[in-house]
Homo-oligomer: A and B are copies of this chain.
Amino acid sequence: MAATLASTPREDGFRMPAEFEGHAGCWMLWPERPDVWRLGAKPAQRAFAAVAMAIARYEAVTMGVSAQQFLHARRILPDYIRVVEMSYNDCWIRDCGPTFVINDRGEVRGVDWEFNAWGGLSGGAYFPWDQDALVARKVLEIERVDRYPAQMVLEGGSIHVDGEGTLLTTEECLLNPNRNPHMTKEEIEANLRSYLGVEKIIWLGKGICGDETSGHVDNLCCFIRPGVVALTWTDDRADPQYEISLDAYERLKSATDARGRKLQIHKIHQPGPLYLTQEESEGIDIVEGTRYRKAGDRLPASYINFYIANGGVIVPTFDDPHDEEALQTLQALFPTREVVGVPAREILLGGGNIHCITQQQPRG
């Protein structure tokens, strides 16, 4: 039912809408593997369920679940969350799911990028990633949405768009030789333009400290609305995050977007720094081919990794002194939406957060 298209979204008049445009719903996947998620993934499952329920107050949520976990997930999740069987290697649908694009007539299609588990055999998180690579296609089949296969490795968490022609990304990730080593920066930019319908690409440098994705932008910086961004920040010059955030700030300060606007930049102080504890590490299986999560590892904690739903903003919290300020700042930045904090350390332990485990499907 989902036709495979040989053209590109740009050729056909499609563009990636911003996350703050209207959604038909949200897709998630269920955490399960015990070499990523501690204690057999049970604490993470509760955290994912809390995220799903928070989002479901604003839009329809579908949870993809493996055959093995189907009945368990169905028991944990309330009736109003749709549960569909889907295989995966892990549960980061922001990165392995489709990037939906729309046209002016409200038609929806999906881009199906190549996926290599954030670096393949050169720093990827686990092996194999064969089932992750099919997630986008399976989502599009269920939704009867036509598919653009893109011959380029890209994860949804490595890009943000303002819906008006501007894309934010990082050099650390998109130019990393573990993604598309055969492509030049110009070729990568050309693909972003072709598949996302953007005009202007704003390149930041590195992603945040502790990030396992080669520096996804979605832990560092995001659009609040066109012309306005939020940036993770620290005032501690001894923290290596300081240089990273400062560099991003300076690049953003000197940038203009696709419409020629200067950007308004809002700093949001990071939590922590936070680190994996001995007890947490010991709850995770050690498996050949999967990144070892050792006690003392810095966790890629950031309030920027939130999800914008139709009427709400779902923000990770960490039982951290900075939680309250982050929620207040975001509430002021999203005056027409309800900002909701969800405790998210158990998600963070797997290497990402609420934005990483969600994928919006635009309203047609």
Contacts and interface: CB of A to CB of B under 8 A. Distances in A.
Contacts of A87: 67, 85
Contact of A138 (B1, B2, B70, B144): B70
A141 interface: yes
Nearest to A138: B85
A60 B141 CA distance: 13
Interface string A117-135: 0000000000000010010
A328 interface: no
A80 B1 contact: yes
Contacts of A86: 85
A138 to B, nearest CB: 6
Interface residues of A, number: 26
Contacts of A82: 1-2, 141-142, 144
Contacts of A137: 74
A164 to B, nearest CB: 33
A80 B144 CA distance: 9
A4 interface: yes
Interface string A174-191: 000000000000000000
A314 to B, nearest CB: 19
Which of A1, A81, A87, A134 counts the most chain B CB atoms within 10 A? A1
A79 interface: yes
A84 B131 contact: no
Nearest to A142: B84
A332 interface: no
A70 B88 CA distance: 13
Contacts of A70: 134, 138
A71 interface: yes
Interface string A62-84: 10000100110010000111111
B1 A60 contact: yes
Interface string A32-69: 00000000000000000000000000001010000100
A295 interface: no
Interface of A: 1-4, 60, 62, 67, 70-71, 74, 79-87, 131, 134, 137-138, 141-142, 144
Shortest Cβ-Cβ A-B pairs, 7 listed:
A1-B82, A67-B87, A3-B79, A83-B141, A84-B142, A85-B138, A85-B85
